[in-house]
Structure 1
Amino acid sequence: MEVHHLRPGRSAGQARPAHRRSPRRILRRPGSLINPRRTYGADHLVVAGAASDYCLRTTMQRAAADGYDVTLVRDCHTTEDSEFDGVQVTGEQIVAHTNMYMKGLRYPGQTFGIASHDAADLFG
């Protein structure tokens, strides 16, 4: 896979390759999944972090689609207030919606849920 970045003021013909990715190489960045099943034998991920409405939710959805059970730590994620189409949404509302989404997620044969950071059984 080859990715190109186009800087403002340049034409498509002036795009430069950003990076090359071989099928055998895993590119890692903070917050990316590195295949926990293969690396650690994990089948259940406990998720916490920032940007509840972007990074966190995408990580949870990807993990679910890849067959992992997922627990969201309900009081260990955050985000900023946002606006869409003239509607203001507070960070608190986004966090609540992310918790609600995860609590209601259903895939056959998988378990999803939310737990507080101090839940006795959070890590099994």
Structure 2
Amino acid sequence: VTDGDGFFLYTPTAPVTHVFRANLGAGHVAEMAMPADEVAAILGVAAPEAAQPATAPAGPAAGQLAAASLTQEERQAIAEIVRTEMRPLRQEITAYRNHNDLQTILGGIGYIAGLFGLGFYLAARRRLAA
């Protein structure tokens, strides 16, 4: 479970392959596997013999191989920078969603009022014709 900024911290306890999944909604699920040898390197223990070498992931996950050489202070500094940069973007997205929700509600009320007006107009026209 993530915190308010969308981050989480997990400390492994055993040098086994870890698979992380993030359900992003609408059927979008991100998945990242951390091989047992990388977990063993983080824990500072020997890698298990049964661990098979994993292929290097393509794209953003490839940068995580270099992240193993970062110190804890560097990781915290990077996380704080990312958090600081993401906060205004999240606020803009939230404001945009709230604006569109209010706009949609007001538009729906306008359609309803227009349909009632059309109904009253047709009713008044029938009365005048009769």
Do both proteins adopt the same fold according to a TM-score greater than 0.5, normalized to the shorter chain? no
| Larger strand percent | 1
Normalised TM-score (structure 1): 0.29
Which one scores higher on RCO, CA 8 angstroms, separation ≥ 6? Answer: 1
Normalised TM-score (structure 2): 0.28
| Larger helix percent | 2
Greater C-alpha Rg:
2
